[in-house]
């Protein structure tokens, strides 16, 4: 029989071994759940799950479209979708570009107020920041909707906007981070790129960080705050600094938007990093450049691509409901992760995510167009 002290030590060691085994089991179960979520988000060919009925086209509407920054591929894609849908429903539309600045937002919304449109669509403009500028339009009774105007999809609390059309940004962020964890086998060394100027960006970055921190053998190396509007100027130097600081430990770059990688990828190539050694995944928006990188196998291995054109059509449909004094449909498009394995589907071969679910024809039937 072991002496008392030895028995205590043995019991302690057994407890440690048991705890270690339990932790390993928990980690394996967590990875399995993440893998399943990533597989679901990567599936292609999903049928249309949105509205199939609603009011016919409202006649003679004139719509103002205020974009935060048309240099942002996601914003541009949604604006193009709105223009396409507005033409299909028979409305006039005019685009105003804030060019990513507070002064731009003020001047464009002042111009919209002077124009007195039938409705206003905000694309990428932070609703909280713009609230004082929207108040005069709200007093005139101008119906408003937005895309990526807040941290959550659906109604925008404390705002005159009837809905934030978006995939669920937190689900987008979690799937992006889970894909990095799964691809690394639970050993990712992660840097996250975000823009603190936007609430939605902060929420997405926080959700990604939470997933990474929950991975026992992953490392969150840092969160870099780089304004999207300054990414061309800042990202080359930021990328070089991160390579010098972290070296091979930096295995995964996550971002709230593909735009960061447009300027990081060339620096990684210059530094001699192999594409397989540093993998990039973005929680939005599926730009043509991002899809090309995925297609070519150049650093980027995933983007949670939003159906930008579809969202443009949805914005027009939701506005049509408001003009007809009906509630919005509230539809939230499921998360879709574009990877090298599925990029040949749902518009990926044309370097865009455009679901093959017939949404254009469905909306036309709703509008009787």
- Could you write out the DSSP letters of every residue in 116-137? --SEEEEES--HHHHHHHHHHH
Q: What size, in residues, is the chain?
A: 369
Q: What is the dihedral angle through the alpha carbons of 144, 146, 149, 152, rounded to the nearest 10 degrees?
A: 100
> pLDDT-based confidence at 71, cuts 50/70/90?
confident
Determine contact, residues 123/68, Cβ cutoff 8 Å. yes
> pLDDT-based confidence at 271, cuts 50/70/90?
very high
> pLDDT-based confidence at 16, cuts 50/70/90?
very low
pTM for this one?
0.81
Distance CA(228)–CA(249), nearest Å, equals 25
Give pLDDT tens digits for 272-330. 999 999 999 999 888 899 999 999 999 999 999 999 999 999 999 999 999 999 999 99
């Amino acid at each position: 029989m072991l002496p008392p002290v030895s028995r205590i030590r043995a019991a302690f060691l057994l407890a440690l071994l048991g705890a270690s085994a339990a932790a390993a089991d928990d980690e394996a179960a967590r990875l399995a759940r993440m893998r399943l979520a990533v597989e679901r988000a990567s599936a292609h060919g999903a049928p249309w799950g949105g509205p199939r009925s609603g009011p016919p086209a409202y006649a003679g509407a004139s719509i103002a479209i205020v974009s935060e920054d048309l240099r942002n591929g996601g914003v541009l894609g949604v604006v193009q979708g709105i223009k396409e849908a507005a033409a299909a429903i028979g409305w006039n539309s005019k685009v105003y570009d804030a060019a990513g600045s507070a002064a731009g937002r003020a001047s464009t919304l002042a111009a919209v107020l002077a124009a007195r449109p039938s409705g206003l669509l905000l694309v990428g403009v932070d609703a909280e920041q713009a609230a004082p500028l929207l108040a005069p339009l709200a007093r005139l009774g101008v119906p408003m909707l937005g895309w990526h105007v807040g941290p959550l999809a659906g109604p925008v609390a404390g705002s005159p906007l009837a809905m934030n059309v978006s995939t669920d940004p937190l689900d987008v962020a979690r799937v992006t981070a889970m894909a990095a964890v799964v691809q690394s086998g639970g050993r990712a060394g992660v840097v996250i790129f975000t823009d603190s100027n936007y609430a939605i960006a902060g929420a997405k970055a926080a959700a990604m960080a939470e997933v990474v921190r929950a991975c026992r053998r992953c490392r969150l190396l840092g969160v870099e705050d780089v304004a999207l509007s300054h990414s061309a100027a800042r990202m080359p130097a930021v990328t070089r600094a991160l390579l010098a600081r972290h070296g091979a430990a930096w295995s995964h770059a996550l971002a709230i938007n593909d735009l960061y990688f447009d300027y990081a990828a060339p620096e990684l190539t210059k530094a001699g990093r192999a594409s397989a050694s540093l993998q990039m995944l973005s929680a939005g928006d599926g730009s043509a450049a991002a899809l090309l990188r995925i297609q070519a196998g150049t650093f980027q291995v995933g983007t949670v691509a939003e159906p930008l054109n579809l969202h443009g059509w949805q914005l027009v449909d939701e506005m049509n409901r408001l003009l007809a004094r009906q509630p919005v449909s509230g539809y939230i498009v499921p998360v879709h992760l574009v990877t090298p394995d599925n990029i040949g589907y749902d518009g990926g071969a044309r370097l865009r995510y455009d679901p093959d679910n017939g949404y254009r024809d469905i909306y036309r039937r709703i509008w009787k167009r």
